[in-house]
Structures are given as structure tokens and as C-alpha cells.
Structure 1
């Protein structure tokens, strides 16, 4: 079978350092090949090489061959590649119009419509008529992803590179993405899947390449690799899936954070309705639910980033100002937020280390030398090197930036730490390391409380309690072990059942 894309002995050097070295890849039509590995292992660099895209200043050797020259790319953050000023229908019609120029004028309009509807259907974009009238900002991340995929299909791509397509997605949306990519491969289109999510890789991949430090350390058919990994790193990666860290319920501590009944709005529309919520010292609360259920809005209310809400938020019994601009330095330090989009949370012009150090200097009044020592110790504990964090944010992977953002928040010595999907872009080994670190901090400090915003129930298992949100409402709350094993609300039951196991070989 002829390959639709090939990479031979690819090496990419940036600043004298090889970020990819000796990579070989052969992509066959209708097959799904997955690249897995830790953040910074070279997955995205390898995937983008198929599009002829490389980091600025890169020195590239080796061969990349794409005979048809048509490779589609679905990025991790698809909204960034959609024109915000144009409706979805107009974006897709513009592409389809270039495909029908040879047709008589009278036939073009119908042909454009047919092509758009076929691409939208293949990309599994629901309620196509309504979706085509919307602007990109009116779609969820999963819907934006489907639009970008439809664009690639309209262009006639024979290969689609999907970069972390399930990162930050709830279990129900994840299942639909698996079905979507399986449908694309059944059309004879090759898929190169870059992913940390081994459940998704297990459900889709024909072949798996395991990467570490820019090298492919193991390559094998999926079935063989799951059953008999040959490289120690692969075995460690698979074994870490079954490891679970838990924060055991602490003795009844005092309330650190408390809210009255809370109603948050976007404009005049209520997007979150929460009853009273209490977080005690040494406790971990996981907040789970679908995208758009109100999880991040809750976090933004607690941290003073969303002020359009009713209801008080109390820290140690004292009301917090609704806007973070009105909070004191002590209040800002006490409630820290690690954002889901870590890249957007860093100044792109300053080294990461400088920004981590600055938190302790500004919020705790530390001397810069002492703050530097504490920052490096914290960063090292999260698996980041000094050489890495002295770079600017654009030189770090998404997973590396997530860990740097966590270190920055910890430098404030918070009473309440809110983590929004901080493990979603991490491989299983690194994720476990971060969860172990968080559990250790709670255990050792005693006065630190965590709120984990997550789609990943393996991460939620760390928690003392779990709260389930759906459509802006709290539908169930209870001890983590009880809720994970015996949920009561129909939505919770559906969420747990979907998470339990993606079907192996979903495309078969």
C-alpha cells in the first residue's frame, strides 16, 4: 500500500538542541497512527513537520514526503485558527468555492452547498443548519474542533494531524471525538493522532509510536504494544495508568472558604446556580461536568475574575471583594488560580522563571534571592529543569507550562488553590507526579485546601469530595469514593459509565 505521507530520519535543532532526532514515520491511507509521550517529547514537532511547519530558527535535516501535498491540522486550541469575524457557513463556503471553479456558474451554488454539508456531516457537527449561522465564539471547543476538521476535509486532505483532540474534554465529548476520527479513517483518510490520552489511543490506533526526549523509543502495532511493551519507558507509561492517589479526609477542620447561594451571569443570562458551598482546611473538592456546565465560571467567581454574580464569598469568615482589583495582596495570595490555558497566563516576552519568582516577591514580600531559591526548588519538584524555565513561554510545551503555572501559584503560599484542568495536557507519568505533589502539599501543610476543576475522573479520585455540575446547576455532591462507585443522579451515572471504558478498537 502506498504511503500518503512519510518521514525519514527527521532531526530538528533549535538553539543547538535537538528537539526531534532520527524520527521515522510511514502514514497509510485509512489508518490511524498515534504518537504518545511526555510533554516536550517531540510529538507536536513531528506532526507539524508533515505540514512543513517548524519552530522559528530551526535547523531541519531528513526527508518529509507528502505526495498529494494535502495535510489537514486540527490544533489543540481550534478557536485560534478560525476567523472570529465570519460565520461558520461563510468560512466553509469560501473553501468549497475554490473546489468548484471549473463548474458552470449555474451549478456552483448547489455544488458548494453539497460539499459543505458532506464535510460537516463527516466531521459530525450536530445541527448543521444552526451551526453554520454562528460565529466561532458562539461554539464550544469541541464544536470549533469539528469546524476545523470540516475545513481540512473540504480542502481534500488525505492526512489529518489531530493534536491532543480530547484534552480538556469531558467523557461524553471525548467519546464523540473518538467516533468522529473513526468515521474519518473509514473514508480512507489517514489520521496522525498526537495524544496523552491512552484510553483514546487504545480505542483508535492501528500503530503507536512512543516518544521520549525527541526519539522514538518504541514503535509497534497497537495490540502488541498494549500487551507486551518492550521499552522500559513504554512499560512505565502504561503502568502509571492504574496508579491512584487519594487525599484522605482530614479531621473536621474549620471552614476556609464559604459561599452563600451563588448565581453567576453572563450578561443577563444565568450560567451558574450554586447552593451554599463550604471548603474546609486540608480538604480537596473536585468539580466535574461537561464543557459549559459552569465549572470554570465558579472558579472565576471565587478568584475575583467574574464579578457579575449574586451571593457572598467568605475567606475565614470575612467577605472577599468581588473583583480581584479590590482584594488586598494577602487576599490575592490566599486564593490562587491555575488556569486551563496556561500559555495565555504567561507574559510571552519574559522568561518563565522570572514570572514565577515575581509572585513570591510581589505577594509575600520575599527578597528576590530567596524567592529564586524557593522557585527553583518548587519547579524541580514538578519535573522542570533550570535550563527549561529560563526560556520564554513559547519555548515550553503546553504540559511544561501547566507545571510552571502550578509552581507560580504555589509560590504565593495560598490557603485555597484552584486548579483548572491542570493535568489534562500531561502524560500519565507526569500527571501522577503532579497529583502526588498536590496530595503531599495538602498532607504536609495541613492548612492548604484544593479545588480541582476537571473532566478526568481519575484526577477527581484524588479528592475528598466531588461536586457534579450540569447546565449550570449542582446535580450531585458527596464523598469521592461514594460518588465514583455509586452515583445517584442520572447525569452522574451517565458520566461515570462513559468514563469507565472507551470501546477498544472503536473504528473496527
Structure 2
């Protein structure tokens, strides 16, 4: 194990130019054993490109200058969208055991299986995946985004990484899991591993980082020791009450992944003009509930009714007007775009297909919608691979809004955004009813500050709704013990993880 303080990876004068544009411009970075360096900055500032340089990976056609020194084969990468690096047709345990067996080949044949199983179990525990054997039998699509992220972290730990690059590791995580992930990354650093944290989450950076480096337009604009400041409180802005007319109703909804029940007897109503936050830990059933509303998960009983009419369980059976009425914005926006076509054209296609607009008129509307989310015409004219994760998330929101939905279902859409863009997107969604682009919003989130903008909130635990009420009350005076744990700040656990001998 490296002694704390020894440099294990360095970038010096790194410059990455794509299509004549410098997306990383002269970045120097030193990663130290046992310490956490946070790389922060707005979406598109070059954070992910800088992190991937340590793996020797660059965008297609990139011109690269500068030097990169990293331990070959021992840099682990936990991406913002972990599904992209998980094989969809292999069970979760298959790759973990492949990695573990490679580390126990020197043992006698009779001991290898037991030793590999012990390594896998330890990695799962270290990555905060206590589900163990049951999770290993699932396929990646049967895991929540947070579980997928922790599975990739387990892979990196199994590989014996000396550097771990965590790209938005708390994106899509509930507060409880966020505290565990922050604690685990702190524990990883204590083992002498250098951690590079790419994050928009100010609370997590504040709680975890030793050093903070800020990028803007590919350049380092500030660097220095992390400041320790109290976490921001979640103060909801005043909002006009929504209309009382029922719009959406869910009755006795029970959903399954194979034989595994992930949602039990869910009941909820959504009024016209209402903003509903859906909270809960990773794997609690939030995304499954959201997908049932949009016709993306048909293995369920119970009903989803729009204006009193039951919606078909599968979107394939829904009419064009029903498809337009309930729109879904995915957490992993990159998977929702065709990589070969410009983003603006793909956004415009929604208005052509669901509203019957002519292509020219649809493209004009698409550009206006993209501009409202903060994407310029030049950026929107690029292919998806040329946009950051946060930029693609905003494009996905614009595309959904172009359908002119009656209900917009959002799955962690603010998690990959910098603070300024996040505020702008929330402004679009939380404007008073009658002044925003969509009448009603179902907002699946782990972002408690964003949830504070909602009218009402429901909390799921173990597939059941355990609390519901006004968002302000749920976040500030929770009645259920699980909710009380959920709304805590990550700072206390992070302090305990970084200083295990001191009380948190």
C-alpha cells in the first residue's frame, strides 16, 4: 500500500482539442495516495475528459498534447452512467467472479472458488451493496441507477485500483446511500488509494475532498484546499397552490422484476398543476413507479388512470395522444439519443411524431425549447457524443416538453447539472401553474434541495409508500423514522468516515 502523500498519478499541461476546439486546455493535476481531489465546474467544462485521460481514453479524433502519468491497469473508473459499462446480457455476479478468479489463480484448485467468493463478498460490502447473493443473480437493468454505480465501484476495488475516478458518484443516490458512498470513498482513500472526485454536489465535495480544482471552459481557474462549511438547508420557495382537479390516479399498483416484487400496492393522485416529489433510497421502487406511469414497465397489476381513463400498461399499446400526454425524462440521457444524428433534429422529431408538425416548424420549436434549458443553437446542432451528460439531460427535457405533455415524469434530471443550470431547469418546472410548459410534474429525485420546490412529496421504502404530505412538512418535520434518516445531511457520516477516531 502506498504511503499517504505519495503521488500516484499526474497530468501536466494536458490539452485535448476536438474539431479545432480545446475542450481541455493546459490542465495540470497531481493525485496523491490517500487523498481525495475534487474536480468541479459547470457541465461541459472538461471534467470527464480530464478524468478519462488518466485511463488513456480520449474523444474520437482528439489531438492530445501534454503528459499523463498513471499506474497502468490500476486506475478504476466509476462513470456517471454506469449502465454504459455493464454488460446487459450478463448477470451482475459474472464479471465480479471473473475478476476475482484472476486474483486467486495461484491458489490450489480446491481453494479458488471459496477465495473468489470471499473477495466478491468483501467488494460488495465495501461498495455498500449488502444485497449480496440476491443481487448477483440479477441483470444490470434490474438494478437501480445507484446500485449500478456501486456495482462498478465494487469492480474497481476487486481490480486492486491505486487510483479511483468517481464521476458524479452520488448522482442518482438517496441521502442515506449518498452518506454511505461518501463514507466508502473516504475509506478507500484511507487505504492509500488516490481518489479523483468529479462532482456537481457541493455538499459532497465539501464533506469529502482534501483538494478542490475548478475548471471553466477546459482551464483550471482555481485550486486549493477544500473549505469546510455547513451544508445548505433545504428552504422551499413559496408556490401558488395547484388546481384541485384530479389528473392522474394510481390504484393498487404492484410491480415486479421477474419474481422479485419491487413495488407494493402503491396509491397516489396527481392534481392538474401539481409538482409531486418522489423520494426514497436507491432500489426502493421510485423509478419503477415512474416507468409504470409512462408505460415503460408493463409487469404490474393495478391501474394508472389519466382523467379517469385507464392507460394501457405498455406504451406500445398507447395512442399517440396518450404517448404525448405522459412524457418521461430518463436519468441516463445519453442512452436516450441516437449517437449518429444531431441533437436538435432528434428533439424536433417529437413534435413531428406526436403533434403532427411539419419538420421546419418543429425544428424552430426545438431550438426555442433547447434555448430555454440553456443550450445554444451551436451546441444543439452537435451529435450527442459532443455534449456533456448535463447538456444531454437538458436536451432530453426539451424533447419531452416539445410533446406538450399533461404529465412530465422526471427521473433524476437535475443530478448531472451544475448549480446554475440546475436552478434554471428547476425554474422551468416550478414556475406557477399556468406559467410553465407542463401542467403536472412527477419528480423522482434524491436531491432534497430540489424536492423542496415540490407541492407534495411521497417517500418509498422497500417498495411501499411510507410517508406522504406537503413537501415542506416531509422534509422538515418527517413522521416516519425512515424519512427522518433520509433527510439528514451527508456531512456527519462523512466526517466520521474521514476521522474514524473522532465522534461524528
2:502 alignment counterpart: none
Q: Which of 339, 360, 384 lines up with 2:375 in the alignment?
A: 384
Matches within 5 A, 1:231-310: 246=237, 248-250=239-241, 252-267=243-258, 269-310=260-301
Question: Displacement, 1:274?
Answer: 4.0
- 147-156 vs 376-385, which moves further: 147-156
Return 360-369 or 112-121, whichever deviates more. Answer: 112-121
Residue 342 of structure 1 corresponds to 333
Given that 1:92 and 1:151 are in contact with CA atoms closer than 8 Å, whether structure 2 keeps it comes out as: yes
Look up the match of 1:55.
Answer: 59
Matched, 1:27 2:31: yes
- The CA RMSD measured in Å over matched residues stands at 2.9
Compute the displacement of 1:117 (Å). 5.8
**Alpha-carbon spacing, 1:84–1:364, altered in 2? closer, same or farther (3 Å):** closer
Aligned equivalents of 1:150 and 1:266: distance in 2?
A: 23
Aligned to 2:345: 354
Deviates more, 1:22-31 or 1:269-278: 269-278
Shift of 1:287: 0.9
Distance (whole Å) between structure 2 residues aligned to residue 115 and residue 301 of structure 1:
37
What aligned pairs does 1:398-477 form with structure 2 within 5 A after superposition?
Answer: 398-440=389-431, 442-445=433-436, 448-477=439-468
SS of 2:66's partner is strand
CA distance in 1, matches of 2:136, 2:261: 25
Question: Structure 1 residues 335, 114: CA separation in 2 closer, same or farther (over 3 Å shift)?
Answer: closer
Query: How far apart, in 1, do the equivalents of 2:43 and 2:70 lie?
Result: 26
C-alpha change, 1:318 and 1:506, in structure 2 (3 Å) is same
Change (3 A) 1:128 1:453: closer
Larger CA deviation: 296-305 vs 472-481? 296-305
Shift of 1:286: 0.7
Contact 2:326 2:409 in 1 (8 A): yes
When residues 493 and 106 of structure 1 are mapped into structure 2, their CA distance, relative to the original with a 3 A threshold, is: closer
Shift of residue 148, structure 1, vs aligned partner = 3.2
Structure 1 pair 412–20 and aligned structure 2 pair: CA distance change class (3 A): same
- The structure 2 residue matched to 1:159, chosen from 159, 163, 170, is 163
- Return closer, same or farther for 1:370/1:79 CA change in 2, 3 Å cut-off: closer
- Displacement, 1:250? 2.4
> May I ask how many residue pairs the two structures share in their alignment?
495
* Cα pair 2:208 2:494 within 8 Å, conserved: no
Quick check: 1:247–1:464 contact (8 Å CA) kept in 2? no
Question: Is the CA contact (8 Å cut-off) linking 2:429 and 2:436 kept in structure 1?
Answer: no
Distance 1:11 1:460 in 2: 39
Q: How much has 1:111 moved relative to structure 2?
A: 6.5
Q: Aligned partners of 2:496, 2:409: CA distance in 1, in Å? A: 36
* Shift in CA distance, 247/423, structure 1 to aligned 2, threshold 3 Å: farther
Deviation at 1:411, TM superposition (A): 0.7
**1:6 shift after superposition:** 0.8
Shift of 1:218: 0.7
Instruction: Give the superposition deviation at 1:88.
Output: 5.7
Q: Deviations over 1:293-351 (max 9, x none)?
A: 22122222222222333333322233323322232222221111111121111122221
Tell me the SS of whatever aligns to 2:435: helix
Unpaired runs of 5+ in structure 2?
500-504
- Counterpart of 1:232 in structure 2 is none
- Equivalent pair of 2:457/2:471 in contact (CA under 8 Å): yes
Instruction: Find the counterpart in structure 1 of residue 41 from structure 2.
Output: 37
The 3-state SS of whatever aligns with 2:446 is coil
Structure 1 residues 61-140: aligned runs within 5 Å? 61-66=65-70, 70-83=74-87, 91-99=95-103, 119=123, 122-126=126-130, 140=144
Does the alignment pair 1:15 with 2:19? yes
Q: Does 1:486 align with 2:477?
A: yes
Give the equivalent residue in structure 2 for 1:233.
Answer: none
**TM-score normalised per structure 1:** 0.88
**184-193 vs 273-282, which moves further:** 273-282
Q: Secondary structure at the match of 2:453?
A: coil
Cα distance in 2, alignment partners of residues 63 and 29 from structure 1: 19
| TM-fit CA distance, 1:263 | 2.6
Show CA shifts across 1:69-120 (max 9, x none).
Answer: 6322122233443455666665345435545666777887776666656655
Would the alpha carbon gap of residues 494 and 284 (structure 1) be closer, same or farther in structure 2, given more than 3 Å must change? same
Contact 2:186-2:494 at 8 Å conserved across structures: no
Q: Which moved more, 1:92-101 or 1:424-433?
A: 92-101
Q: TM-score, normalised by structure 2?
A: 0.89
Structure 1: stretches of 5+ with no match in the other structure: 228-237
* Residues in 2 aligned to 1:41 and 1:90: alpha-carbon distance in whole angstroms: 36
Deviates more, 1:93-102 or 1:435-444: 93-102
